[in-house]
């Protein structure tokens, strides 16, 4: 019985250490949609970078999904976030991707309406990003790039 308890205790200790270690690394890249008000308020905004990925939802022919650019944007955003948090003390907050854009590739061929492409007016796109920038700015998020 004691042998079982010892191994059980070691297993719990190991699991706790692994959990805490992974939380330290993962805690530097946060998803704002999963955060509550207190967690957002607790951010050190002078050492926090907010990333708002975006890109058009558009057709990519018969073999690729309309969200192809979105998958690429997700990968770019993850890599950028990793590079930022590699700097000691920095945190990245990820905003959900905004799959909107103004000029889909199908307009190159002169087709303004095409299944799989969903553009919005440039004024709409600008308004969305400006509204978000204003809101984040009023909440204290800095509106510049991190410097060393």
Is 49 inside a domain boundary? yes
Is 39 inside a domain boundary? yes
User: Which mean pLDDT values do the consecutive 10-residue runs of the chain (148 residues) have?
Assistant: 44 41 60 97 95 91 91 95 95 96 80 85 94 94 61
Is 99 inside a domain boundary? yes
**Residue among 74, 75, 77 at smallest CA distance from 85:** 77
- The domain total for the chain is 1
* Alpha helix segments (H runs only) across 27-93: 37-41, 68-85
Is 48 inside a domain boundary? yes
Is 8 inside a domain boundary? no
CATH assignment at residue 78: 3.40.50.10310
Residue 57's Cβ-side half-sphere holds a number of Cα atoms within 13 Å equal to: 10
User: CB–CB of 90/47 below 8 Å?
Assistant: yes
Domain that holds residue 106: 28-138
Q: Say whether pTM exceeds 0.95.
A: no
Indicate the DSSP class of residue 107.
Answer: G
Instruction: Please tell me the predicted confidence (pLDDT) of residue 104.
Output: 81
Is 15 inside a domain boundary? no
Instruction: Please tell me the predicted confidence (pLDDT) of residue 13.
Output: 39
């Amino acid at each position: 019985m004691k042998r079982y308890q010892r191994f059980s205790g070691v297993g719990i200790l190991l699991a706790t250490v692994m959990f805490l270690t992974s939380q330290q690394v993962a805690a530097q890249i946060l998803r704002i949609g999963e955060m509550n008000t207190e967690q957002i308020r607790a951010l050190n905004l002078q050492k926090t970078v907010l990333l708002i990925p975006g890109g058009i939802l558009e057709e990519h022919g018969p073999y690729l999904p309309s969200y192809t650019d979105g998958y690429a944007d997700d990968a770019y955003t993850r890599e950028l976030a990793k590079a930022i948090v590699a700097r000691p003390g920095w945190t990245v907050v990820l905003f959900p991707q905004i799959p909107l854009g103004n000029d889909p590739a199908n307009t190159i061929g002169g087709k303004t309406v095409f299944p799989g492409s969903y553009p919005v007016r440039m004024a709409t796109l600008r308004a969305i990003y400006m509204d978000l920038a204003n809101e984040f700015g009023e909440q204290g998020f800095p509106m510049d790039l991190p410097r060393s």
